[in-house]
Structure 1
Amino acid sequence: MVPFHGGCSRRYGFFTDSYDLFVISLITKLLGRIYYQVPGSSSPGSLPDGISVAVSGVAFAGTFLGQIFFGCLGDKLGRKRVYGLTLLIMTICSIASSLSFGKDPKTVMVTLCFFRFWLGFGIGGDYPLSATIMFEYANKRTRGAFIASVFAMQGVGILAAGGVSLLVSYLFEIEFPSRAYILDGAASTVPQADYVWRIILMVGALPALLTYYWRMKMPETARYTALVAKNAEQAALDMNKEIFTEVDEKRFALTICQSENWFSRFVFSFNFGPNYPGKT
């Protein structure tokens, strides 16, 4: 058994984590076309290798550090308090990434990398806390199913990132049509294209804001309140206020399949995605 809004907050949190982490690989080519186009060149512009690696990987560096920092902080201050903080960081940095300052390529890339790092830092805190909170809420019989259902949302987040990117690009192409690069290189990237990648990044803040509502309604986990805060009475009161739902065997099987699908997409994204070093 697990609280309904508690389960939703973790699932949507992992959905947001996945969207924000992996959406960057879908816009790097557009960034190259906008900011690194060489007039008269026979091929479209692309990000220099060093900048491409920085833009794509800086969030993962932040994630690594965030897991360590917020994992320890959650043990000291409580899961709920730190859980809300990580979501605020994710929301602010997701919006700030889309509003990267200036039009000069260097300025835009530096500010984008700066906010992407702190976005990853917040996401890194969401990873261990989501798993820990779900583990502490669920009983032994349903624990595996609920943890699997949380991690399965990463696959949904990756699909959502691709869907949003396609939709925004399609709408802009209808409103601001462009010519093929081979026909007219200068007209192949319209000025409005600069809004496309910014909107795609900003959309990542929407599920984070929705998730914040559920996280604020969620009480501290009973195990933390009883064993760390040493307040068994409050822990019992918190648990009595929660709404529980049963998870049957069919749902368990479904979440396991979803988690396997997430794992395969995760491996594919790292090894064969647009920024794979061996790709030409």
Structure 2
Amino acid sequence: MARNQLQVLNALDQAKTQWYHFTAIVIAGMGFFTDAYDLFCISLVTKLLGRIYYHVDGAAKPGTLPPNVSAAVNGVAFCGTLAGQLFFGWLGDKMGRKRVYGMTLMLMVICSIASGLSFGSTPKGVVATLCFFRFWLGFGIGGDYPLSATIMSEYANKKTRGAFIAAVFAMQGFGILAGGMVAIIISAAFKAKYPAPAYKINAAASTVAQADFVWRLVLMFGALPAALTYYWRMKMPETARYTALVAKNAKQAASDMSKVLQVEIVAEQEKVENITEDSSNSFGLFSKEFLRRHGLHLLGTTSTWFLLDIAFYSQNLFQKDIFSAIGWIPAAETMNAIEEVYRIARAQTLIALCSTVPGYWFTVAFIDRMGRFAIQFMGFFFMTVFMFALAIPYHHWALKENRIGFVIMYSLTFFFANFGPNATTFVVPAEIFPARLRSTCHGISAASGKAGAIVGAFGFLYAAQPTDKTKTDAGYPPGIGVRYSLVMLGVINFFGMVFTLLVPESKGKSLEEMSGENEEENENVTELEQQAGYNNRTVPV
């Protein structure tokens, strides 16, 4: 039997779209703008790092990062992100969303600047310092995932909640776009001011000393948007759902939301205590009751995010290799270092502008009409179709006259990733779990996704190498090639469709309806189980 909803929570659920909704989207979204910028900008400058620090004097070809170094530079931030998602997700449920929110942002600002200032007397020293700071940068980024999603879900009304959470995540698209644009501007400026003197004679060896500033400036720029939003993030009040249902302070929740919604809200302390003290709502994460109610839900959110991120991040990280394979980016030895950064950034910016960003906003527009399940299933389906459509006739697409078609098809996989599971896997975990475990469960789901990103960053870095060792970059072992990498990604997306069947639909329902926090104790629990303390055998988180 449904219990009467708290007035403060009902007011939030029924509130019309107001200015504070858009303020919350911008404040939380700028964190995601920074997250995406910091995570993806490294792929723009990876080849530049190889040219600067691993070039052999007199060699005709430019230097490249050794496989283990390249994997570390590309993937270490994901390792930090995974750890940060678990830690800050748990901390957000223990200390409150707002108190932890500022910590993650400051960590991102400090480590973005520190990454650009990476020092060392040897190439290994510089790269080791860079990896150290990017790990902690990722740690801060990781905290933003569960906190931003949870805060936005708890502030939103139930009618347009999906669109608001998706809009926060859609700022990731602008972050990816900004990374490419910043790299284009910086590389173009340096190319104009410091032209390589030997460009036409030996482009591979013509890396001007000033090129070292390019990658540092690109990485450091990520601190700016995070720093600009710190003040506003600290002014946000704690969410009413945390204050009422977790901290059990009905008066403070009513006071905070009265100011936000500009309506009079009555504090209902007695009702809060009844809800929070009910044994049916006191189970922990590692309890049988959680397993019974939400076990399959958590399996659904973790598995789909894991599979999605293998495909999504591997696509982003080796798209420069795909562009090279189809001839869209010339061979490295035909251009100097800064020119290469410019061309890679231009290609990735075009993909982001034409497919990535529109895909996110299609999700924002349709998620509360179509529902989370339909969009996620559709996205995985079309990603599977387009991956196989690229992979099976791969040699057809590799022909010069068909390369534009390849790029269009490749762009469509990004479009349906973002008008699909890349957005919905972020939205759903913020809606279906109880308030006291919401941030933790979102952190676990997101961490599973980053485990997939690590597989994509490390595994496909090797897998996408040509099968013939003579055609690989120096130091890279033969891989299975781009074609079979795309086949593997198609299979992964197919399994994403299968596990989507475990994810519940939350469209139009309140958070308490989805989590069961406004229901009476389950009447199906037997008297024997009650006497045995069934509902009390929990392990608190």
Q: TM-score, normalising length from structure 2?
A: 0.47
User: 1:166: which partner in 2?
Assistant: 184
Residue number among 90, 101, 114 corresponding to 1:83 in the alignment: 101
Q: How far has the Cα of 1:255 moved from its partner?
A: 2.0
Q: Name the amino acid aligned to 1:172.
A: F
CA contact under 8 A between 2:60 and 2:204: conserved in structure 1? no
Q: Name the amino acid aligned to 2:167.
A: S
CA 1:71 to 1:233, structure 2 compared with 1: closer, same or farther past 3 Å? same
Kindly provide the CA deviation profile for residues 223-265 of structure 1, in whole angstroms up to 9, marking residues without a partner as x.
1111111111111111122269xxxxxxx86724799748359
Number of positions where the alignment pairs a residue of Structure 1 with one of Structure 2: 272
Q: How far has the Cα of 1:217 moved from its partner?
A: 1.2
CA contact under 8 A between 2:77 and 2:137: conserved in structure 1? yes
In 1, distance between residues paired with 2:209 and 2:54?
A: 14
CA 1:163 to 1:237, structure 2 compared with 1: closer, same or farther past 3 Å? same
Q: How far has the Cα of 1:156 moved from its partner?
A: 1.3
Q: Name the amino acid aligned to 2:43.
A: S
CA 1:197 to 1:221, structure 2 compared with 1: closer, same or farther past 3 Å? same
Q: How far has the Cα of 1:276 moved from its partner?
A: 3.7
CA 1:95 to 1:189, structure 2 compared with 1: closer, same or farther past 3 Å? same
User: 1:247: which partner in 2?
Assistant: none
In 2, distance between residues paired with 1:262 and 1:212?
A: 33
CA 1:101 to 1:42, structure 2 compared with 1: closer, same or farther past 3 Å? same
Residue 207 of structure 2 is aligned to residue 189 of structure 1 = yes
CA 1:103 to 1:26, structure 2 compared with 1: closer, same or farther past 3 Å? farther
CA contact under 8 A between 1:78 and 1:220: conserved in structure 2? yes
Q: How far has the Cα of 1:182 moved from its partner?
A: 6.1
Q: Name the amino acid aligned to 1:208.
A: A
* Structure having greater relative contact order (Cα 8 Å, sep ≥ 6): 1
CA contact under 8 A between 1:95 and 1:205: conserved in structure 2? yes
CA contact under 8 A between 2:104 and 2:141: conserved in structure 1? yes
Q: Name the amino acid aligned to 2:133.
A: F
Residue 122 of structure 2 is aligned to residue 13 of structure 1 = no
User: 1:213: which partner in 2?
Assistant: 231
In 2, distance between residues paired with 1:173 and 1:58?
A: 30
Residue 281 of structure 2 is aligned to residue 263 of structure 1 = no
**Partner-residue secondary structure (3-state), 2:201:** coil
In 2, distance between residues paired with 1:165 and 1:264?
A: 23
Q: Name the amino acid aligned to 2:364.
A: T
In 2, distance between residues paired with 1:204 and 1:100?
A: 15
Give 5+ residue unaligned stretches, structure 1. Answer: 245-251
CA contact under 8 A between 1:18 and 1:155: conserved in structure 2? yes
CA 1:253 to 1:28, structure 2 compared with 1: closer, same or farther past 3 Å? closer
User: 1:150: which partner in 2?
Assistant: 168
Residue number among 129, 136, 151 corresponding to 1:111 in the alignment: 129
CA contact under 8 A between 2:88 and 2:143: conserved in structure 1? yes
Q: TM-score, normalising length from structure 1?
A: 0.89
CA 1:125 to 1:188, structure 2 compared with 1: closer, same or farther past 3 Å? same
In 2, distance between residues paired with 1:5 and 1:178?
A: 46
Residue 225 of structure 2 is aligned to residue 71 of structure 1 = no
In 2, distance between residues paired with 1:139 and 1:264?
A: 23
In 1, distance between residues paired with 2:417 and 2:456?
A: 12
Q: Name the amino acid aligned to 1:122.
A: G
What is the percentage of aligned positions where both structures have the same residue?
63
In 1, distance between residues paired with 2:59 and 2:53?
A: 14
Residue number among 111, 114, 117 corresponding to 1:96 in the alignment: 114
Q: How far has the Cα of 1:195 moved from its partner?
A: 0.6
In 1, distance between residues paired with 2:456 and 2:99?
A: 36
CA contact under 8 A between 1:155 and 1:262: conserved in structure 2? no
Q: Name the amino acid aligned to 1:201.
A: L
CA contact under 8 A between 1:5 and 1:214: conserved in structure 2? no
CA contact under 8 A between 2:81 and 2:139: conserved in structure 1? yes
Residue 76 of structure 2 is aligned to residue 58 of structure 1 = yes
Q: Name the amino acid aligned to 1:173.
A: K
User: 1:29: which partner in 2?
Assistant: 47
In 1, distance between residues paired with 2:456 and 2:418?
A: 11
Q: Name the amino acid aligned to 1:39.
A: D
In 1, distance between residues paired with 2:59 and 2:200?
A: 10
In 2, distance between residues paired with 1:243 and 1:190?
A: 57
CA contact under 8 A between 1:40 and 1:185: conserved in structure 2? no
